[in-house]
Amino acid sequence: MQPMIRQRITDAATRVLIRDGLDRWTVEAVATEAGCAKGLVHYHHGTKAKLLAEVAQQMSRSRMDQRRSALTHSGASSLDALWAMLEGNVSSGKTAAWLSLLGDLGGATERLGPSDDELGEFTERAARALALPALPLAKGRALHAALDGFEMALATQSDTEAVHEAYHTLWLVMISV
C-alpha cells in the first residue's frame, strides 16, 4: 500500500507543479491534490527538496519516454510526432515546470540527464525512423540537447515558425551527413 501512496503523492506533486508553478508549489497543495494528510507527504518523501528531486527524475524519464515513443513512427511522421510532443509539452505547462525545476535544483541536475542506455535507444530509434545508418551515441546526445533547445525556444515565446524551420534544418543536416 505504501508504494502506491508514495507514487500518488509524487504524481500529485507533478500536477501541482505544472498547474501552479514552482513559486506557488507547497507541500500543503500537494497533500490536498493527493487526498492525504500533509504529514504523509513528509513521511514518504522527507523534505520538500527530496520530493521535488523525485518529481524532476520522474519528469526526466517521462520526457525521454515521450521522445522515444514519437520515434516509433517512420520518416516525416516521426519528425511531426516529435514536434507535436514539443509543442504539447509547452502548451500543457510541462516545459515551464521542467525549466523551473532545473533552475531550482542547481548543481543536482546532472543526475537528470538520460542514461547512456536511454540515449542509445533514442539514437537507435531516430536512425531507424529516418532509415539512417547507426548513429554514434554522441549524435544522440546532441539530438536530445537540440530537442531541449527547441522546446526551450518555444517556451520562451520565440517565433514559432523560425523555431520550426530550425528544427527541420537540424533534421536535414542529420539526414545528409
Could you read off the pLDDT of 78-106 as tens digits, one per residue?
999 999 999 999 999 999 999 998 887 76
Question: Which cell goes with 102?
Answer: 532545473
The CA distance from 36 to 41, in Å, is: 8
Q: Report which residue type is found at 27.
A: V
The CA distance from 11 to 23, in Å, is: 18
pLDDT of residue 144: 94
| pLDDT at position 20 over 90 | yes
pLDDT of residue 175: 83
Q: Report which residue type is found at 64.
A: M
Closest alpha carbon to 86 in 151, 8, 10: 151
| pLDDT at position 48 over 60 | yes
pLDDT of residue 72: 92
Other CB atoms closer than 10 Å to residue 118's CB: what's the count? 18
pLDDT of residue 3: 65
pLDDT of residue 84: 97
pLDDT tens for each residue of 63-74: 999 999 999 988
| pLDDT at position 1 over 60 | no
**What's the mean pLDDT in 157-176?**
91
**What's the mean pLDDT in 155-177?**
90
pLDDT bucket at 174, cuts 50 / 70 / 90: confident
Query: 114: which DSSP letter?
Result: P
pLDDT bucket at 158, cuts 50 / 70 / 90: confident
The CA distance from 104 to 157, in Å, is: 21
Give how far Cα 2 sits from Cα of 38, 40, 45, 138, Å. Answer: 15, 10, 12, 40
| pLDDT at position 149 over 70 | yes
pLDDT bucket at 22, cuts 50 / 70 / 90: very high
pLDDT bucket at 107, cuts 50 / 70 / 90: low
pLDDT of residue 136: 92
| pLDDT at position 33 over 90 | yes
